[in-house]
């Protein structure tokens, strides 16, 4: 039998700004620093999204501010 060991190291979490879907029943959400628009729409149901916060593991976006990029330009 094989038992997977639990990680002894805790993953650091922080209160992160997110966009969550406003439609009841839809569970779509995205981190604010990964959104391309100032007020994004849900990719699953195309409803407007509202800003909120959620405790999430620390994650750094190496592309910087995606909202300042012009549409149609590929991100490297």
Asked if residue 63 lies in contact with residue 35, where contact means CB atoms within 8 angstroms, the answer is no
pTM score, whole prediction = 0.68
pLDDT digits (tens, 9 = 90+) for 17-32: 999 999 999 999 999 9
pLDDT at 73 over 70: no
CA 73, CA 53: separation in Å to the nearest integer?
Answer: 29
- Look-up of token digits 């190291």: 9
Q: How far is CA 51 from CA 9, 16, 44, in A?
A: 31, 11, 17
Cβ within 8 Å of residue 36, ≥6 positions away: 66, 67, 69, 71
pLDDT computed for residue 56 by the predictor: 92
């Amino acid at each position: 039998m094989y038992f997977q060991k639990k990680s002894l190291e805790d993953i650091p979490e922080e209160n992160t700004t997110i966009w969550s879907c406003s439609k009841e029943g839809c569970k779509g959400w995205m981190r604010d620093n990964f959104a391309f628009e100032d007020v994004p729409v849900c990719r699953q149901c195309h409803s407007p999204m509202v800003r909120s916060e959620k405790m999430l593991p620390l994650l750094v976006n190496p592309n910087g501010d995606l909202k300042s990029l012009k549409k149609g330009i590929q991100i490297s």
